[in-house]
Structure 1
Amino acid sequence: MPETTSRRGLLFGAAAAVTAGGLLTACTSNEPKGAKPAANDKPADDKPGKHVTIGFAGPQADHGWLNAINDNAKERAKKYSDITLEATEGSNDTAAQIGQVETLINKKVDVLVILPADGKALTQVGLKAMRAGIPVVNLDRIFNTPQAYRCWIGGDNYGMGLSAGNYIGEKLKGKKNARVVELAGLDNLELTKQRSQGFDDALKNYPNIRKVARQAAEFTVESGQQKMSQLLQAQKNFDALWNHDDDQGVGALRAIKQAGRNDFLMVGGAGALSAFQAIEADDSVLKATVLYPPTMAASAIDLARALGQGKGVSGMAEFEIPAHVTLFSAVVDKDNVAQYMPTGFK
């Protein structure tokens, strides 16, 4: 994956080889019995244990998804009486973030959770932590070598495209000569290529569907509106749209409304609250979105706590947590949006 320290380049990371979903139940809330859990809490199946100090080096919160990463990590840590979270200010500057991680190493935290601004550039500091006996949970944007982390957890970009393509395929499988268009993200990012490849591979199972246009945007509301306007002008007739990112989808929906178009269905990506609300209202072309869940940061805290306490993952036979956890790219539509609404990011 091309590495970049830009805000857009930080948005998402590479997928790992092993897929796992719903596994992180070893380190669960120790709230008082009868307390109402948040939507993304796991069932409480353990008690407070050894105290663990977790160092968290996250991104600069200049995008909805990135802000949600930081919020999920901090809110998750608050649910445990046996965790102290040492969180950095957050930075998209590699040198600054390296300095922040080194400070956490010098503080001798028990475990580190790092979403690197640049996976390649921060690999050495990940190695430094591991060699100092501090296990690292590498969140989303992956380091260059597995030696720099004990566990990687992140989303599945290829899976996002695959899920979007299959959803659209099932909706259009009875329509002859169906036409779809794609509003991608930044084309210089490997994640964008992975999402497009997954989408194209899914459509191969539906010979009645043809992708007739693709336009790359920039993960912003402004670019989404501009590029969607261009697609609408160029394509007067199509049946479905796959949009890679819900933030740029806000702009895309503006362009669609301005054009007075409602003759196709739209599938988004990531899991923004605005997308969930539009799906629930069912008053626009947006009918579903495919998750790239920022709740992965909460799960990273769970994994870090398990590492610090020497635990494995409930429901698995192994004594240790997995080396890689790839989150499933679930489709959220009108049928299940109420379940996911509390996890939507702004």
Structure 2
Amino acid sequence: MTQSFLARRGFLLGAGAVGAGVVLAGCTSNEQPQAQNGGTQPVAQGTGDNAQPGKMVTVGFSAPAADHGWMAAMTTNARAQAEKFPDVTFKPTEGTNDVNQQIAQVETLITAKVDVLVILPFDGKALTGVGQQAMDAGIPVINVDRVFDTPLAFRTWIGGDNYRMGVNAGNYIAQQMKAKNITAPVIGEVAGIDSLPLTQERSQGFKDALTRAGFAVGPRVSAQFTPESGESMTANLLQSAAKLDALWNHDDDQGVGVLAAIENANRSEFIMVGGAGSKNMMNHIKSDANPVKATVLYSPSMASSAIALARLLGQAKGVGDLAEHEIPSEITTYSAVVTKENVDQYLDVGFDS
């Protein structure tokens, strides 16, 4: 089960390595291209000088197998972004969960002398060496999501903020409890794999936000980031808690099973908040027909931004609207809370879980 999870998300950096939270305002547009499957994918588009085609840039792309909703969206978004730019040649490798195979694929891209590499490693530690090999060969690396062991292996890192996911989920629930005048709420949590730093960071942020509001985490279970485990562990939680006021589930792919357990138990007295930002959870939020009232983003749109950043690196451009001539070395995306009031704004970054 850990292998299945790693295919989707992986080991992330600790809170001390979180970047500056830069917003790519100068590289973005609301225009969305049609994807090959008939849907739309979130893309960034240069504005001002960045919007003008520059020299051709060959971008190599390597990621794990697209065998989960979030990871599939990462690969789809990267391709859609590359197709948006007439001055980008996209060279993807076949997604794999075999570390040695991914290393070999990246080495092939290095030998091919691509201009920039975008790497979402199956295992950041295991891929650190090949990332540094690329950098030593003069090929800048955009490291996505799962961080390498050393900054020497990448030019820029872009990824999500697990601690703030928990904080924002906790803040939303606390606000809802206070709005309902519930002074001692029972707040449940369906976490991911407890041994992973990312789960620990999410749970710590959740706990810290609730503590600051005068509340506490109540019944808690740990699942495996899969629908099956989400359903079984949530069923256990519901059996142990005769009453709940709120529930936070860390992951929307896992949330498919969490919702199934809630429906099977015929429970509806509490609100539920999801995590990551899947399209089906956003549709639940929009319909307002079940306990799902919000989800906290950990958006695969970061893959689109990674390709846009790779183009800028290859053309020696900075990020529009920033004073610096160079793109930042670390970019942390923001975990916005999607609710019924703003869900239409975020549907374009939703993914199929």
TM-score, normalised by the number of residues in structure 1: 0.93
What is the aligned partner in structure 2 of residue 6 from structure 1? 3
Structure 2: segments with no counterpart, 5+ residues = 34-39
1:320 corresponds, among 315, 326, 342, to 326
Residue 271 and residue 31 in structure 1: after superposition, are their counterparts in 2 closer, same or farther (change >3 A)?
A: closer
Distance 1:193 1:38, change over 3 A: closer
Q: Specify which structure has the higher proportion of helix.
A: 2
Matched, 1:22 2:23: yes
* Secondary structure of 1:212's aligned partner: coil
**Distance change >3 Å, CA 275–CA 28, structure 1 → 2:** closer
Q: Secondary structure at the match of 2:126?
A: coil
In the other structure, the counterpart of 1:345 is 351
Other-structure match for 2:119: 114
| In 1, Cα distance between equivalents of 2:31 and 2:342 | 28
The answer as to whether partners of 2:43 and 2:80 remain within 8 angstroms in 1 is no
Cα contact 1:83–1:305 (8 A) shared by 2: yes
Match of 1:44 in 2: 47
Q: CA deviation at 1:28?
A: 7.1
- What CA RMSD, in Å, does the superposition of the two structures yield over aligned residues? 2.0
Whole-angstrom CA distance in 2 between matches of 1:6 and 1:169: 34
2:310 aligns to what SS in structure 1?
helix
Q: Residue 63 of structure 1 aligns with which residue? A: 68
Contact 2:43 2:77 in 1 (8 A): no
CA contact (8 A) 1:29 1:44 kept: no
Q: Supply the distance in 2 between the matched residues of 1:5 and 1:206 (Cα, whole angstroms).
A: 34
Q: Distance in 2 between matches of 1:83 and 1:164?
A: 38
Q: Is the 8 A contact 1:53 1:110 kept in 2?
A: yes
The answer as to 2:118 corresponding to 1:126 is no
2:29–2:43 Cα contact (<8 Å) kept: no
Deviation at 1:342, TM superposition (A): 2.1
1:90-239 matched pairs, under 5 angstroms: 90-173=95-178, 174-207=181-214, 209-239=215-245
1:267–1:289 CA contact under 8 A, matched in 2: yes
Fraction of identical pairs, as percent: 52
- For residues 120-179 of structure 1, the C-alpha deviation after alignment (integer angstroms, 9 at most, x for no partner) is 111110110000000000000000000000000000000100000000011112311111
- CA distance change for structure 1 residues 56 and 28 in 2, over 3 Å: closer, same or farther? farther
Relative distance call for 1:253 and 1:283 in structure 2 (3 A) is same
CA–CA distance in structure 2, aligned partners of residues 156 and 221 of structure 1: 23
For the 8 Å contact 1:57–1:87, the answer to whether it is kept is: yes
Task: Using structure 2 for the length normalisation, give the TM-score.
Answer: 0.92
Deviations 1:261-282 (A, max 9, x none): 1100000000111101100110
Give distance in 2, aligned partners of 1:321 and 1:274: 34
Q: Does residue 262 of the first structure (1) align with residue 265 of the second (2)?
A: no
